[in-house]
Amino acid sequence: MAQRLSPFELMEKLISFPTVSRDTNIPLIDWVADYLDSHGIESHRYIDPEQPKHALFAHVGPWEEGALVLSGHTDVVPVDGQPWDTDPFSVVEKDGKYYGRGTCDMKGFDALALWALVEGKYSDIKRPLQIALSFDEEIGCTGAPPMIEAMQPVLPKGSAAIIGEPSTMQAVTGHKGGIGFDTHVIGFEVHSSMLHKGVNAIMAGAKLIEWANQINTENMEDKPTDLAAMFDPPFTTLHVGMIKGGTAHNITAKDCWFAMDFRVVPGEDKDKWAMDYLKKVRAVEAEMQAVVPETRIEITPRFDVPALQPEHEGEAEALVRQITGDNASHKVSYGTEAGQFQDAGYSAVICGPGSIEQAHQPNEYIEVAQFNAGHDFMKKLLERLAT
């Protein structure tokens, strides 16, 4: 009989693959497929046609609809420039914590989900269980939608999905949506002593960034809706986290690049925010072209992540609450793939071990107690699927 690895052994193996979003995840997916195959579990893939990345999904239990889906992503954020005390792609236990890139976000959960799937294969579960492992979550949740679409004609349709992002094993039932735009401001170079005859792309771009500051101030001052009040902060936010441009301090910058991101509270229209931004872009562009007609601003959509809407008597939420005993209300401002499963017709909830505060950090870790709590959750889940 093939070896049945423990959750910790599975996490060790998954962490050993440096699946930073800019790189391939195929070696990890190959290993998972081989491991499942060794236990008689057939897996299926979505193969990205434009880059070397695969998603994987599989099913155990009765071949019928109504499965519970355990969903996680396989990519991690870079470690470049971070002061790690240990090898980020090896799991190191120290002071009651497992250190390693992805231990918290979210290969710890992926390992628990793989363990549960294999155990489900050997158990007499009455309700089917599925796993879905995506890619490119960290760069805008772009890998999950085609994976979910690919699952539909291959596996019996599941009815509920648990997305295992770190939530300290609490039931998170809502999160903000998100949209992002790569913005390229193309100006006209002249000597800075004659700046009135040129167009400084950085200074033009700064008008868009200042617009974002003004909108944030207005949103902060507005009274939030009842739904928005559940979030921290209780309003839609605009953010620019990276910017570059220019060639010298005494030349008006020809180019400026930055990303404008929106985190939109449920109940608000993401498309309206996109249109508001485009309107402001075109106004700034018109000012630029009044000086030099060939200048322009190019906008490229980068991601579009739907919000997770709180469900009335949601199946996924009810199941998680029954297992964890958590009856409090939890909402988060970061985005996940949960809203994408919900848009595809699944009841969805976020529940996974670890704290989001450790995600993406140098010396990322998951507490041993949290990982064990996730293991206990999966044991109880399998018990429920068997009744």
Which CA distances in Å does 224 have to 196, 212, 312? Answer: 43, 18, 21
Q: Which of 180, 141, 342 is nearest to 270 (CA)?
A: 180
Catalytically active residues, by annotation: 75, 137
Residue-by-residue DSSP string for 224-273: PPTTGGGSSSSS-EEE---EEE-S-TTB--SEEEEEEEEEE-TTS-HHHH
d(C-alpha 170, C-alpha 356), whole Å? 12
d(C-alpha 83, C-alpha 89), whole Å? 14
Which CA distances in Å does 203 have to 152, 208, 233, 239, 293? Answer: 48, 9, 29, 17, 17
d(C-alpha 303, C-alpha 274), whole Å? 12
